[in-house]
Structure 1
Amino acid sequence: GLIKALLEENYKPHVELAMRDPCLFGDYRTAMEDSEPRLYEDIQDYDAAKALFQEILEEYNESNTPMNLVLFDDALEHLTRIHRVIRMDQGHALLVGVGGSGKQSLCKLASFTAGCEVFEIQLSRGYNESSFRDDLKVLYNKLGIENKKVVFLFTDQHVAEEGFLELINNMLTSGMVPALYADDEKEAILSGIRDEAVKAGTPHAREMIWGYFVQKCSNNLHVVLAMSPVGDALRTRCRNFPGLVNNANIDWFFPWPEQALYAVASVFISPENQLIPDEHRSAVVSHIVMVHQAVGSYSKLFLQRLRRNNYVTPKNYLDFVNSYLKLLESQDKYILSQ
């Protein structure tokens, strides 16, 4: 291709190194040591990245709700991308993929790797824009008062009102939501942060102190949006709220490749499962992958002939594998009871 030709013309001794696949760069080799600054370096290959993230995942599971993640190559690339964005000042991301493709899980692991706290809203009956603003006040207190680096994970399931996205748009473009605080709340913040701001060299003027607070919040804030491309909702939202596209790094989650399907099935149908003889294990894994891929192929025919979409998602695949294992166990018990 053109890139290879240019490399051979200008950097001939380094062509092989530059064209090496995969191209994985990150600063997560020392993520568990809490040492700053971290070294942004070439991770070399998928095996090295997997070993690093596997160790980080085990650490995460000890202090959080455990996640049973299979770190196949595609997932490692997404983790590396999301982590890189979060490590940048004012780095925001838009993760686009169908439901169940791992956007939220990978975001949480990448945030933990980057040393950031994850903040999510909890929807309840009657949750409206006023409730959302109250939650945002809690978030901004973490950012500006407690000086915490926070990833605000916001999914399309959280859009109880389209007006929420106007506030998100402001957060992405300016780092602050206009008129978020009442006058008395604003005064309390100014009083609490004035000494710190002056010590940092900020003039005593009220507007300057507030500007210091806003800048501090902006530097500590990372908005990660997890959205589905299904239907027209995302297209409409990006048109109405351009900050979602202009101020965020977009990462597309495409259907899992065959390597990912095999990796996931092999983990679930592991040698520890005594119900499947070792000589049949690989055949069972291959069959599960084939069935999932066949459903995807027939779904395309379904769309062509009946004009109806049937979405085949990674969550469907995980449910399929789990259903097979449950059925295998129940049938084994039934046979033994006869």
Structure 2
Amino acid sequence: MNTGSRGTPMKVVFFNQIIGHIVRVCRALRSDRGNVLMVGVGGSGKDTTIKLATYVSGYRLFTINTRSVYTVTNLLEDIKLIYRRAGMEGRGTVFQFNDTNIKDEIFLDHINNILMGGMVETYFNREELEEAGNSIITIYRRENPRQSCEGRQLIDFFLSRARRHMHIALLFSPIGERFRARALAFPGLVAGCTIDWFHAWPRDALMACAERVLQEPSPLAPVLTNPAICAACVNVVADVHLYVDRMCTTYARITRRTNHTTPRTFFHFLNACKIIYGRKFAELTEIAHRMDTGVRRLQEARESIAFLKTELAAAEEDLKEANYLAEQVLQRVLQETETAAGAKSRVEVLKQRCEEIVQSMEKDREEAQDKLVAAEPALKEAEEALNTIKVGDIATVRKLQKPPNLIMRIMDCVNILFYRPMVPIQADPEKPESFAPSWGESIRFLSNQNFLTMLINYPKHILTEEMMDLLEPYTSAPDYNPRSARKTCGNVAGLLQWTLAIMKYFFVSKVVVPLQDSLKKSEQLLQRAQGQLTEVESELDEKTVVLNKVQAEHEVAMKRKQKLKDEADLCIRRMDTANQLIEGLSGEATRWRETSRYHKQEIVLLTGNAITLAFFLTYMGGFNQTARSSALKYCTRLLHKYGVPQSERLDCVKALAPPTTVSRIE
């Protein structure tokens, strides 16, 4: 049944009484136009019985939903729908109608008419009846092959078929005056139905249901895996329910107040047992767990102190070693820093020295350049003077038998500049104030075809101070000047200008040469200084690399030292925290153990306590204090009788209500 159903699966416990009801209802439904009136209090099994009986009979169950707005019109439409299904499909259809579906007493009037006469033709109009008759014409011909298929015959066949396959199941409660009044007002409810009366469940039925419900998954289920405990609990809940049934009768006779207990109340009682057990179990378990956790933490704190002491001693040894290593590395860092600083200082000194040499060289170079620039006009003048001399002029002078004395003196100066042989120094017979000329050597020199070229390409580096001393007597003569030479010698006067220019160049270069020598020495010094600077810089780089490496080692050593120090400090803090925890909670450990032991014992007693509390909460609301006390004593005796653990003195109010509510009530 559950397999073919799309709704919530049914949970059914079969016992003899419910099986008898199912058999009786099935027999009533299977009879021709059979209807059934099921009378019983809520939760007695009427709904389950009609569903099972319908399923066993192979019929289809039809129910109505009156939770929303449901009027007579809606009821009539549902009745027409049921008749269509029953008449057209030819399948048994059971119309379940509960007393809770009665929104208006007119509903019962229509139900009564159907039960008394079964006449439903008035619910359909002509077109609906014809449509229904035409829909089953094939079935009619198969069942009545020799009869005609006229319209009225089809309609009668449809109505007969619908009445035959439609069954009504009325589910009413006998409590109150309404059932009696309705039975008198609508006699068809009794006369047109087979009545099945649902009486109170017997003890075996209660026990079967209790065993099934209590063993469903819940915090209580593991406790009931013990067969003895399970049997004891089942006996207790069944007996207390029957006791309350009897007590309701006695209480009504004494106080004139009526209380009712139904099987539904019994199921509420069972579910309350599971819920209360689950909540109390979680509450007690949580408290016991907290107490155990506190005790365990204290024990762990005591054990951790010894471990932390060992760990702290090891950390202090490691820290001592790390301090020593860090100090060693620091000394190396200081040493390498000092070495690198010395190399850096030497580099700075050499750099400064090189800069000074470069500055001195620049100064000498500028001064020499200035002097050379000053000598350039003399050289240019000598070149211009030579350019005035032609080859013919040289030939003319060479042919002179007795050249002017000035020309011979000019040639003597040229011979001196070229290191040519000279006659011994003696006075000139023709001009006593002058030296005797070496004209013969001059003629030979003038005869050289490359004479002018040699003058133009004169090697100025052969000039010496001795040459200047030898030339001085010649050049200091009053007539040894360009003007006198042009007047006496013509174009050959250029030789005089050339000798004067060469002498001027010598005296200028005399100042430049020391500067150039100094410049060369400075360049050599600079080269040596730069070489030393390169060596010292290379040494500085090596020292810097070593210093960086040592500094990195020092940084690693300091980090390790700091890490070990932090670990030691953390260990000390943990020890302090553990000591404070132990000192502050030393008196609480015993109380926590006792509290945990008490709550664990309460968990053992929780089975009986949950039954008592659920019994009090479910059944005792409608009774006075005397009846409640008597019922609770009876429940306690039953728990003791069947061996279900329970607390000796259980206050139901304090156990169920919060302390604030209890204090407000008191």
Residue of structure 2 in register with 1:295 after alignment: 244
Give the letter for the 1:129 counterpart: V
In structure 1, distance between residues paired with 2:80 and 2:97: 15
- Tell me the CA shift for residue 292 of structure 1: 0.8
Give the letter for the 1:172 counterpart: L
Give the letter for the 1:197 counterpart: Y
- Tell me the CA shift for residue 142 of structure 1: 0.7
Q: Give the helix-richer structure, 1 or 2.
A: 2
Residue of structure 2 in register with 1:331 after alignment: 280
1:259-274 aligned within 5 A: 259-270=204-215, 273-274=221-222
* One of 287, 309, 312 as aligned partner of 2:261: 312
Give the letter for the 2:210 counterpart: A
In structure 1, distance between residues paired with 2:153 and 2:105: 33
Whether contact under 8 Å (1:275, 1:329) holds in the other structure is no
1:23-44 Cα deviation digits (max 9, x unpaired) = xxxxxxxxxxxxxxxxxxxxxx
Give the letter for the 1:275 counterpart: V
Whether contact under 8 Å (1:203, 1:209) holds in the other structure is no
Residue of structure 2 in register with 1:243 after alignment: 188
Q: Alpha carbons of 1:203 and 1:78: their partners in 2 closer, same or farther (altered >3 Å)?
A: same
Residue of structure 1 in register with 2:3 after alignment: 62
In structure 2, distance between residues paired with 1:125 and 1:325: 33
- Tell me the CA shift for residue 198 of structure 1: 4.2
1:1-338 aligned within 5 A: 60-64=1-5, 65-201=8-144, 202-270=147-215, 273-276=221-224, 277-338=226-287
Whether contact under 8 Å (1:117, 1:150) holds in the other structure is yes
- SS at 1:70's partner residue? coil
Q: TM-score under structure 1 normalisation?
A: 0.78
In structure 1, distance between residues paired with 2:117 and 2:155: 14
Give the letter for the 1:274 counterpart: P
- Tell me the CA shift for residue 270 of structure 1: 3.4
In structure 2, distance between residues paired with 1:144 and 1:206: 16
1:208-252 Cα deviation digits (max 9, x unpaired) = 322111110111111111111111212222222222111211100
Give the letter for the 1:304 counterpart: R
Whether contact under 8 Å (2:87, 2:158) holds in the other structure is yes
Q: CA RMSD in A?
A: 1.8
In structure 2, distance between residues paired with 1:181 and 1:152: 18
Q: Alpha carbons of 1:100 and 1:174: their partners in 2 closer, same or farther (altered >3 Å)?
A: same
Q: Give the strand-richer structure, 1 or 2.
A: 1
Give the letter for the 2:2 counterpart: N
124-133 or 267-276: which moved more? 267-276
- Tell me the CA shift for residue 106 of structure 1: 1.1
Which 4+ runs in 1 deviate beyond 6 A? Answer: none
In structure 1, distance between residues paired with 2:235 and 2:227: 14
Aligned pairs, how many?
Answer: 279
272-281 or 106-115: which moved more? 272-281
In structure 2, distance between residues paired with 1:130 and 1:148: 25
In structure 2, distance between residues paired with 1:178 and 1:198: 22
Q: Alpha carbons of 1:136 and 1:200: their partners in 2 closer, same or farther (altered >3 Å)?
A: same
168-177 or 213-222: which moved more? 168-177
Segments of structure 2 that go 5 or more residues without pairing to the other structure are: 288-666
- Tell me the CA shift for residue 271 of structure 1: 9.2
In structure 2, distance between residues paired with 1:196 and 1:252: 39
Whether contact under 8 Å (2:82, 2:166) holds in the other structure is no
Q: Alpha carbons of 1:271 and 1:110: their partners in 2 closer, same or farther (altered >3 Å)?
A: closer
- Tell me the CA shift for residue 204 of structure 1: 3.7
1:129-161 Cα deviation digits (max 9, x unpaired) = 111011111111110112221111111011111
- Tell me the CA shift for residue 282 of structure 1: 1.7
- SS at 1:95's partner residue? strand
Identical columns (%): 30
In structure 1, distance between residues paired with 2:262 and 2:70: 29
